[in-house]
Structure 1
């Protein structure tokens, strides 16, 4: 997404389409030296004009953000988009009122799935396993399934899988392939824990000070980019499955020989039960009664769930 859509959009499309009226100093997260969790605060101070972030990464600043990508709810990218569209006004309001930001786009990464170095046939095999996760709710999901949640930086996962520090690790289905996790993880459990839903936002003061013509152009251009990324990611996700299992077409990545374990209807029932029993109520308690009511009226209606409001 970064290479084929975002970078050309900001470095070519925007300057060219605006007749060079909009100039962009574009930096990726790694080259900028940032980590991710600080994005909301840097936008709020105006240190960044427009920035990209992942909701689960910045959720320490606002528990509301987690509601758009709670683990295990969206088994398909179509459901992920329906959830995102339903909850978008909620995160938009929070960004504006609490943080002084304007939401510009809501986007997906590929499905976040399990790369396992030990054989696994389904959700019940998580019992006793050590699983590399990111985010509090995902850790709670792993633990509800009987596993031990472990936090390890992305670039340390391969040796951790190799030495048994962890048995499985969660990441994007194409990100794991690009990082060659398949060299030590031979089992791909295709349970989408989420889609690492991410966003573009602008500092509200900077945005409001922008020339109206530039605002109009950027709004339309970013809306088109957003739609392009949803379409691109749906295709990329299919390539991710194909590449990791040595099938065609494998467009982004390397062909591997992982064993694919699909999510069964029985696993879906077990997953929904543990989500409703502990994972989602735990998030709702942290987020509060008003937040829970709003979630019920938006995401809850999309996925057919209703949480108790305490």
Structure 2
């Protein structure tokens, strides 16, 4: 079984105090200030209202349970927590095939993304089930506009970026920027503020829409847009054996609340307006918003990330190439 875990993950599991029998802890690694966290609060509230007090879901946001998001496939099947938010892009260490489902930057339009979503959800369900995790709900991620935030001077060309140390959040981004001659390293978002403030990195890749949630405007002076990004949705996971043992009343309440959560978040019409408003608010707080990276640079980025997508799938082996081909077929490529 894939979810055999090491001593570290066992230590994490043992460090979390057991919950009362009727309480289901919901682990959310996102900051409380993220809009997705507010949606999860509503999901929990609606499920609890339907359950009428017989069971209770309790949301723990901002990583307050001390469970690393990269370890979800280790701690969730072992019962360290009853329910957890998961994001495939954080789980590539343990499940390399997940890194080949949606490589960020390869899907650059809402029309394409909507074609891919049903297939992406099917793949997630299959892969997580192999780890002993049931996918019981989803939270859609907006079509994001990814920008480069810098602390000391404006950067809006790949050539200028080559002289900077860049923060990214996923391996595919490291591989892509390395291919473009840029030094990139993964820094978790909870460490991003300090890394920028102390000069561990000069610039950070981040969506303007969420920059305020990590106070990025306090340690950055300049920002410029680089590329649009679609991501696979967040998944709400439960250990499969625990989910199978739950009664139908509980399952129905959770699934109804989860369906409503997905229908609320799987909307993209106002994404651009939200992006522009977020930029305006950052500028009002002292950030200088510069010119976009040129189209030629964006084309170079797309070419590089497309090559990385193919290479990561080949490297991962197993189901990875099949997953990538299924997504490409859905996209009509």
> What interval of TM-score do these two structures reach, taking the shorter chain for normalisation?
0.7 to 0.9
Q: For structure 2, which runs of at least 5 residues remain unmatched after alignment?
A: 1-34
Distance across 1 between alignment mates of 2:318 and 2:38: 41
Alignment: residue pair count: 295
Aligned to 1:308: none
Cα contact 1:142–1:148 (8 A) shared by 2 = yes
How high is the TM-score relative to the length of structure 1? 0.82
User: What's 2:178 paired with?
Assistant: 143
Equivalent residue, structure 2, for 1:274? 304
The separation in 2 between residues aligned to 1:113 and 1:72, in whole angstroms, is: 12
**Higher helix content, 1 or 2:** 1
- Structure 1 portions without partners, runs of 5+: 306-310
- CA separation in 1, counterparts of 2:125 and 2:39? 23
Mapping of 1:56-135 within 5 angstroms? 56-77=89-110, 79-96=112-129, 98-110=130-142, 111=144, 112-117=146-151, 118-135=153-170
Instruction: Confirm or deny that 1:286 pairs with 2:319.
Output: no
Q: Indicate the SS of the match to 1:33.
A: coil
Q: Secondary structure at the match of 2:238?
A: strand
1:260 and 1:276 map into 2 onto residues whose CA distance is 27
* CA deviation after TM superposition for structure 1 residue 199, in Å: 1.1
Q: Does residue 177 of structure 1 match 2:205?
A: no
In 1, the alpha carbon distance for the partners of 2:116 and 2:294 equals 22
Q: Normalising to structure 2: TM-score of the pair?
A: 0.77
**C-alpha distance in structure 2 between counterparts of 1:8 and 1:304, whole Å:** 36
* Aligned counterpart, 2:26: none
Question: How big is the alpha-carbon RMSD for the aligned residues of Structure 1 and Structure 2?
Answer: 2.9
The structure-2 alpha-carbon separation of the partners of 1:246 and 1:172, relative to structure 1 and needing over 3 Å to count, comes to: closer
Separation (CA, whole Å) in 2 of partners of 1:154 and 1:211? 37
Match for residue 19 of structure 1 among 27, 52, 77: 52
Take 2:174 and 2:86, find their aligned partners in 1: how far apart are those partners?
Answer: 20
Q: Work out whether residues 68 and 84 of structure 1, in 8 Å CA contact, stay in contact via their aligned partners in 2.
A: no
Distance in 2 of aligned mates of 1:257 and 1:121: 15
Please give the alpha-carbon distance, in whole angstroms, between the structure 2 residues aligned to 1:206 and 1:159: 39
| CA offset digits 1:225-254 (Å, max 9, x no partner) | 0121233x764664343233348xx9xxx7
* Aligned 8 A contact 2:140 2:262 in 1: no
Question: How has the CA–CA distance of structure 1 residues 266 and 107 changed in structure 2, closer, same or farther, with 3 Å as cutoff?
Answer: farther
Is 1:200 the equivalent of 2:236?
Answer: yes
